């Protein structure tokens, strides 16, 4: 096992700088060997991190040296980088959320859950030697995210394995499009996409009973629908790719829809969009009006992403 080491000394009179450097080293994932001695794995990123700290410390009037340490016994040092306690703290925060989860407070739970997902990502980014603790925390997060999704979007479709069709919008004019009632993010975004870019004369049916689907209607976002989850893609992404609507702006919107529907990497805008759509869904009980209102959100997002 090889490591990089930073040996530093800061002026004692500058307590603020000492605290800032200490907090920054901790957040970078550097392990503490002893006071003033920090370690990073033998990677280019690890070396550059310590070199950056060394430069900053010298500018503050301190001393700093970075060394490359070769052939140390891995078992003696790997525990210094262990993040198991951090993951355990995260799992402990998840436990009461799981117990309190109900249809009445699902949005509050999700709000807290998103913060914990960010915390998990931050820990994982500095977990240079991941172990079972990371897997357990990831499973606990995914399990609670799935439970929230089932409340917000019952009967969420199972992903299928099939090749995506390449389709022309000319074959989808003035169609009846059918999905499950009380739509959440994926169905709302998919319906918006259909109306704006695929079938401008589309008619939508929001059904509680999917056995009542009219003949020749086109289903989306339920098991057995023409358009549904395919492998790692949610329905919105499937529609975007099938009708070749993918642009940089649409790709950003797809990332938000994907995260809010099934989790994963959280885009910056996701939490705010989730709150807005959740408020609309709570206050608007007519699904047609809900789509009309939510469409303004998706229109605004796409316009913003196009400008960016």
Q: pLDDT by residue (tens digit) across 99-151?
A: 999 999 998 998 899 899 989 999 999 999 999 999 999 999 989 988 888 88
For residue 77, pLDDT over 90 is answered with no
Question: Are the C-beta atoms of 186 and 221 separated by less than 8 Å?
Answer: yes
> Residue 303: its pLDDT value, please?
96
Residue 1: predicted pLDDT:
79
CA separation for the pair 34, 26 (Å, rounded): 13
pLDDT at 266: 84
Q: Identify the band that residue 87 occupies on the pLDDT scale cut at 50, 70 and 90.
A: very high
- Among residues of the chain, what percentage have pLDDT more than 90? 73
Q: What is the mean pLDDT of residues 257-272?
A: 88
Nearest CA among 74, 51, 55 for reference residue 63: 55
Give residue 68's pLDDT: 93
- Which candidate, 174, 153, 175, 170, places its Cα nearest to that of 257? 153
Question: 296 vs 7, 123, 178, 300, 304, CA distance in Å?
Answer: 55, 36, 21, 6, 12
Residue 162: which of 247, 233, 264, 255 has the closest Cα? 233
Q: For residue 4, report the phi and psi dihedrals to the nearest 5 degrees.
A: -110, 140
pLDDT of residue 92: 96
pLDDT on residue 155: 75
């Amino acid at each position: 096992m090889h490591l990089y080491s930073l040996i530093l000394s800061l002026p004692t009179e500058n307590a603020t700088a000492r605290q800032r450097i200490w907090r920054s080293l901790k957040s970078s994932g550097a392990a503490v060997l002893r006071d003033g001695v920090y370690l990073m794995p033998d990677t280019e990123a690890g070396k550059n991190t310590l070199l950056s700290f060394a430069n900053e410390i010298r500018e503050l009037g301190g001393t700093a040296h970075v060394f490359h340490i070769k052939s140390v016994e891995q078992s003696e040092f790997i525990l210094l980088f262990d993040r198991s306690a951090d993951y355990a703290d995260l799992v402990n925060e998840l436990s009461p959320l799981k117990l309190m989860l109900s249809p009445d407070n699902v949005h509050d739970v999700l709000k807290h859950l998103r913060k914990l997902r960010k915390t998990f990502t931050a820990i994982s980014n500095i977990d240079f030697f991941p172990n079972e603790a990371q897997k357990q925390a990831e499973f606990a997060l995914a399990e609670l995210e799935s439970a929230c999704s089932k409340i917000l979007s019952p009967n969420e479709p199972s992903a299928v394995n099939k090749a995506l069709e390449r389709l022309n919008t000319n074959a989808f004019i003035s169609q009846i499009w059918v999905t499950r009632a009380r739509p959440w993010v994926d169905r709302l975004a998919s319906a918006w996409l259909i109306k704006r870019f695929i079938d401008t004369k589309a008619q939508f049916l929001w059904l509680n009973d999917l056995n009542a689907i009219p003949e020749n209607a086109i289903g989306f976002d339920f098991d057995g629908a023409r358009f549904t989850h395919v492998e790692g893609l949610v329905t919105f992404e499937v529609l975007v790719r099938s009708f070749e609507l993918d642009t940089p702006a649409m790709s950003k919107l797809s990332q938000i829809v994907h995260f809010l529907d099934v989790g994963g990497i959280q885009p910056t805008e996701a939490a705010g969009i989730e709150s807005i759509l959740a408020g609309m869904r709570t206050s608007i009980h007519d699904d047609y009006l809900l789509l009309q209102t939510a469409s303004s959100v998706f229109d605004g997002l796409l316009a913003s992403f196009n400008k960016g």
